[in-house]
Structure 1
Amino acid sequence: MHDDATLIAQTRAWVEQVVIDLNLCPFAKRELVKNRVRFSVTHATSEAALIEALQEELLFLAGEDRIETTLLIHPRIYESFYDYNDFLGVAEGLLIELELEGIFQIASFHPKYQFGGTERDDPENYTNRSPYPMLHLLREDSLEAAIDAYPDVDAIPDNNIQMMNDMGTEKMKALLAGCLATGGGQ
């Protein structure tokens, strides 16, 4: 397994080359340029340890308004997308337990991400495929403000799916592989 600096470099490359360059999220570039995206790595190997890391990160964000969003990278747990997907309910439960529901929300990214009703290799799954399993912690008020200011926000998912389908699975695999080659390769 890579060191934290490499994991962060690969994830940052993915944010820059996939999320921003392909404009999958029109709100990401501003925060990355302003250095308001936190890349945090946890070496958790159990659900309990990941919950603890998630709690620490949520509490950190709650107390640090200079950071807009965190990508909590957890490469050592939930390699299976289905296990990861099941964990998302636990993560949402933690938001409720910490009384942070409505303040933060959690978006999900995984190397094997698969939307319901799709095949494993369908290109559209790459809108949420990342170098490593990660939880994206977002401030809801900032997200709502960005959405309110963006024209036709409802078209973003459909546009992203169309772009992924136009690019195709092989092109997206190559882009992701390029990100993994950053900082020492896989």
Structure 2
Amino acid sequence: MVEAEVANATRKWVEGVVVGYNLCPFAKRELLHDRVRFVVSEATDEDSLLQSLHAELQRLNDEPEIETTVLIHPGVLQDFAAYNEFLDAADGLLAYLELDGIYQVASFHPDYQFEGTEPDAAENYTNRSPYPMLHLLREASLEAAIDSHPDVDGIPGRNIKLMEELGVEQLRDVLANCVKETKTPRE
């Protein structure tokens, strides 16, 4: 798996799905201003992923021009249950570094499943991504965006309705195309 392909597929997903379907009304501005950092971790185990997470949190502290980081980790936590459990460790790292309330971690995974939903429910596609990833958000920026949005409480319901209208088959194809269209031809 080529690092550039992973990053390009993820960017294509953000542009086409997250922004294209307006799943997150706050994402477009930061993407257009090139304030989203896409980084592919070489981690192959949870400890090295925590190290990558730590490094990216430090980078956000050191480089305020980066609004948000998408930490993509294709070599670890392919299983959604293990990924979901890892989120506690990610939150624990935030607390340990005393960055709780400064940053938060949003979760996206190819097999994402909200509690109480069927594995193939359309609504799960609001958080399904080409590869497992951790999205690092600045709390202050998120709060400001939420405060300025006219109907933040309506976002999840609108997203679920849209996913159901598009249907699982189309959503599966859209996600697969993000990866397929960024593959580098092999000689």
2:152 corresponds to: 153
CA distance in 2, matches of 1:179, 1:127: 15
CA distance in structure 1 between the aligned counterparts of 2:63 and 2:98, rounded to whole angstroms: 17
TM-score, normalised with respect to structure 1: 0.97
Partner of 2:143: 144
What whole-Å deviation, never above 9, does each CA across 1:117-156 have from its counterpart, x for those lacking one? 1111100000000000000000000000000000010110
In 2: Cα distance, 1:6 partner to 1:45 partner: 18
- 1:34 and 2:39 are equivalent in the alignment: no
- Measured after TM superposition, the shift of residue 72 of structure 1 is 0.1
Aligned-partner Cα distance in 2 for 1:52–1:158: 35
Gaps of 5+ in 2: none
Q: Which residue number corresponds to residue 44 of structure 2?
A: 45
Q: How far apart, CA to CA, are the structure 2 residues paired with 1:71 and 1:5?
A: 14
Please tell me the residue identity of whatever aligns with 1:62. N
Deviation track 1:56-109 (CA, whole Å, cap 9, x = no partner) reads 000110111000000000001011000000000000000000010010000000
Query: Is the counterpart of residue 61 in structure 1 residue 72 in structure 2?
Result: no
Distance 1:30 1:160 in 2: 19
RMSD over aligned Cα, in angstroms?
1.1
Tell me how many residue pairs correspond in the alignment.
Answer: 185
Distance 2:136 2:106 in 1: 7
Runs of 4+ in 1 over 6 A off after TM superposition: none
Give the TM-score taking structure 2 as reference length. 0.97
Shift of 1:182: 2.5
Q: Does 1:80 align with 2:79?
A: yes
For the residue of structure 2 that corresponds to 1:91, the secondary structure is: helix
CA distance in 2, matches of 1:178, 1:162: 22
1:105 maps to 104
What is the alpha-carbon distance in structure 2 between the residues aligned to residue 182 and residue 100 of structure 1?
37
Paired residues of 1:6 and 1:182 also in contact (CA < 8 A): no
- Aligned residues of 1:110 and 1:134 also touching (Cα < 8 A): yes
The corresponding residue for 2:90 is: 91
Partner of 2:172: 173
Say which SS state the counterpart of residue 134 (structure 2) adopts. strand
